[in-house]
Structure 1
Amino acid sequence: MTMTSDYASTEPAREEIDDLSGPTLLEFGAPWCGYCMAAQPLLSSAFASHEGVRHIKVEDGRGRRLGRSFGIKLWPSLIFLDNGKEVARLVRPTSAEAIAQAFAQIDH
């Protein structure tokens, strides 16, 4: 799989996320968010060596239940899941290294 470039306007249900198998990066943010835009090159760099990881990019905001269920307060928030369970979390990452270290925890 490859990195997703567009935010999904419709969020999946929490049950769908919890039932996922394999490694998944769940990214919360918004297309107009400066922090989110700044993180994209870092994500792209880290994703290059983790093409087997599913990427779900969800537009977050007021009234969005999935983000609230994960306790999202700042964007971008990256939730690294292994078989639907949270293994690592990065909020407003500033280095590809930190992202790569989190990827290493789910992409064996």
Structure 2
Amino acid sequence: MTKQQRADVRWALSDAFVDNEVDYAAIARRTREFDRDEVKRILFEEVAPVCHSNLGSTLPTIWLCFNRQELEDDIEKMLGAKENSWLKRKANALLVTWLKSRYKYIWTEIEKQYQNIS
């Protein structure tokens, strides 16, 4: 996966964290050409750690879409911090475990849509 393709996958997956009706079919169409295990990993290890707080907030600030460049910058910053700090790696691992449980339904919905377009 190229850097641009990864950015496109992240952008598509971020749609699951907006405070609006989620178009899981569109997310699946935009990510279907990539390895599903990698898409799932990107969802929970790259996108969800940055975007999940929008869904957890009483008055979500993002209801239509995230800013694409800010999303990329935030994900790269988070990944860099994790790479440079043992403590951040451990904290992130705990967060990802929680995110996989809390937002399992997102991946379930995307997988259903993969089956519909295959």
The TM-score range, normalised by the shorter chain, is under 0.3
TM-score, normalising length from structure 2?
Answer: 0.26
Higher strand proportion? 1
TM-score, normalising length from structure 1?
Answer: 0.28
